[in-house]
Amino acid sequence: MDAKAKKLDAAKASLEFIEPGTVLGVGTGSTVNCLIELLPTVRERIDQLVSSSRATTKLLEEHGFEVSTLNEVGDLDLYIDGADEATKRLHLIKGGGGALTREKVLAGAARRFVCIIDDSKFVGMLGEFPLPVEVLPMAQAFVTRRFVKLRGQPVWREGFVTDNGNHIIDVHGLKISNPLEFESRLNQIPGIVTVGLFAQRPADILLIASDDGVRELRT
């Protein structure tokens, strides 16, 4: 089974968490795009929708959904999103698509966060995938130097501007053995808007699609 088919399987499995009257947050990326293709089949169960990026908003609107802001809806019943890496503790690296800040806000605002991945993203330790970090443009060089001190190899995602007008640094070579502590530490660095480590607010449910079907892990 190829990666696209697995993504579709994980997305399909997440539909059962959408109950009647759900205020739903929708993440960003190719796995979530599979979910958006399927959302019209459960349209009547969705009360309101909030999006984590301009790209997701565009796709939702193309599928005939009205997209509300988080300010309008208050908290979310459910947030569904993909990830770049996930562990058995449901800690995640996210932000490969550059939407990490709004994704973190929606995950924080959600009573339940369901993460959908294919099995290539399920890892023993986070850090093989470069850690995306959204930074204020004026702080880019400063934050880069800080990551060098932390023995990372920071690479500016050149030419990429986030939906919030900021830059992304992808930090290679990290072995993140203590994601909770590392996330707190990085959050102290001035100029960082958001670290793509989701450990303080992990997923509640992880759906991992493989050739053998979809496995469910919970915190």
Catalytically active residues, by annotation: 103
Q: Residue 15, Cα to own-chain centre: how many angstroms?
A: 17
Contact in structure between 57 and 25 (CB atoms under 8 Å)? no
Name the amino acid, one letter, at 90: L
Indicate the residue among 18 and 80 with the shorter CB distance to ligand 5RP.
80
Min separation Cβ 131 and ligand 5RP, Å: 11
User: Could you tell me the smallest distance in angstroms from the CB atom of residue 25 to ligand 5RP?
Assistant: 12
> What is the three-class DSSP state of 156?
strand
**How far apart, in whole angstroms, are the C-alpha atoms of residue 107 and residue 200?**
11
Cβ atoms of 129 and 100 closer than 8 Å:
no
Least distance CB 100 / ligand 5RP (angstroms) = 5
Closest CB to ligand 5RP among residues 115, 148 = 115
CB of 93 to ligand 5RP, least distance (A): 8
Name the one residue in this structure whose structure tokens are 């932000």: 95
| Shorter beta-carbon distance to ligand 5RP: residue 44 or 211 | 211
* Least distance from ligand 5RP to the Cβ atom of residue 16, Å: 19
Helices within 15-53 (DSSP H only): 30-38
By beta-carbon proximity to ligand 5RP, the closer residue of 81 and 204 is 81
Beta carbon nearer to ligand 5RP, 63 or 151: 63
Full 3-state SS string of 48-70: EEEECCHHHHHHHHHCCCCCECH
User: Binding residues for ligand 5RP, per CB under 6 A?
Assistant: 27-31, 81-84, 94-100, 103
Smallest Cα–Cα separation from 18: which of 71, 62, 78, 99? 78
Task: DSSP for 118-152, please give it.
Answer: EGGGB-SSBTSS-EEEEE-GGGHHHHHHHHHHTT-
